[in-house]
Amino acid sequence: MSLSRLLPCSRVIFSGPILSSIRQLSTSTARSARFGGPGGTGSRFAEQFGLKGRTQTGPTLRERLLGPTTGKPFVYGTYALAGASVFGIGLLCYYGLGMSKGMSAMDRSAIWPEYVRSRLHHTYAYLAGSLALTAGAGMAAARSPTILSLMSGGGILAMIATMAVIIGTGMVVRSIPYENMVMKHGAWAVHCAAMGAVLAPLIFLGGPVMMRAAWYTAGIVGGLSATAMCAPSEKFLMMGGPLAMGLGVVFVANIGTFFLPPGSALGAGLASIVVYGGLILFSAFLLYDTQRLVKKAEMTPNSGYQTFYNEYGQPMQVASPRFDPINAQLSIYMDILNIFIRMVMILSGGNQRRK
């Protein structure tokens, strides 16, 4: 699931005359079929028997959806984001003050064995390294006109190629065992470099916007991570199904932005779902992935073997996969990148409106 979460909000702008011609053609055809056209048989029949045809008093549903947007979808998205922010701060205060009854990861940290602490330390160290490699690769790719033109070309084919690179490199990283240090770290570096190249076109939005988005992202990630650590250990692990459905909604909305004009009411609604809905969704994913990481660090056997008992009560040792800190941080890494991308979109959109 985590490998398909990065969906840049690019879109194709279709020409307005084509859409208006389609609307005029469909409207005129429907009217001719229903009333026989002006002066036709349908009109004479209505005049003879004193019937009045139904006249259209307003725009059709199609015209409203494809007509120019009033900006309300983005206003509603701002309201939803504000509500989610207030709810998140409330959760942080509630769990941080110890009002919940369940035992949190912060409470259990006092009795953790040393290997659990070491696993979490290495995982977040690799997470910091992933973000640093991505930032460095993005700055290097921004200086290459070839990479910039390739990444900022837009279109459905560019999106498919981007997803293929992201998912392919991520699958390679996950498939290599952690014991193969050279191959594992090489694949990890390639994956981070590919992500940096994908984010390179954001450099056009300017350094101040990027810095503000980075600081806001750091604040969001810090607050959500603290909430996940202070909440009961499995509180957010129950959200896997709803989060998967929400990811499907954001994915379909992102696909729709390629085929609908961004200035239309429907296109603006889909863009609002991708940006504001995506920000809320990946913030919830961060809560889920943080608790899943802690649970995995606690439950994975340290010896590489897990003991089971057969039907005769005899113990049997079965080899189990070792804890892999690089694989463990990939989901949180993708969540952070998605939050950062949407913060950049929101801040750059606000700057353009002020201009």
pLDDT tens-digit profile of 214-231?
A: 999 999 999 999 999 888
**Whether residue 125 has pLDDT greater than 90:** yes
What is the rounded CA–CA span in Å between residue 323 and residue 294?
Answer: 11
**Whether residue 169 has pLDDT greater than 80:** yes
Q: What integer pLDDT is reported at residue 352 of this predicted model? A: 54
Who wins on pLDDT, 132 or 70? 132
Q: What integer pLDDT is reported at residue 216 of this predicted model? A: 92
Q: What integer pLDDT is reported at residue 305 of this predicted model? A: 58
**Whether residue 29 has pLDDT greater than 70:** no
Q: How sure is the predictor about 171, in pLDDT bands with cuts at 50, 70 and 90?
A: very high
Per-residue buried b or exposed e for 190-214, using 16+ beta carbons within 10 Å of the residue's own CB: bbbbbbbbbbbbbbebeeebbebbe
Q: How far from the centroid of its chain's Cα atoms is residue 57's Cα? A: 41
Q: How sure is the predictor about 191, in pLDDT bands with cuts at 50, 70 and 90?
A: very high
**Whether residue 3 has pLDDT greater than 50:** no
Who wins on pLDDT, 265 or 69? 265
Q: What integer pLDDT is reported at residue 251 of this predicted model? A: 87
Strand pairing partners for 309? 315
Who wins on pLDDT, 57 or 73? 73
Q: How sure is the predictor about 34, in pLDDT bands with cuts at 50, 70 and 90?
A: very low
Rounded (5°) CA angle 295-299-302: 130
Strands (E), the chain: 305-309, 315-319
Q: Which letter does DSSP use for residue 54 in this model? A: P
- Tell me what the mean pLDDT of segment 310-320 comes to: 59
Please answer whether residues 277 and 242 qualify as being in contact, where contact means their C-beta atoms are separated by less than 8 angstroms: no
Please answer whether residues 167 and 5 qualify as being in contact, where contact means their C-beta atoms are separated by less than 8 angstroms: no
- pTM comes to 0.76
Please answer whether residues 290 and 226 qualify as being in contact, where contact means their C-beta atoms are separated by less than 8 angstroms: no
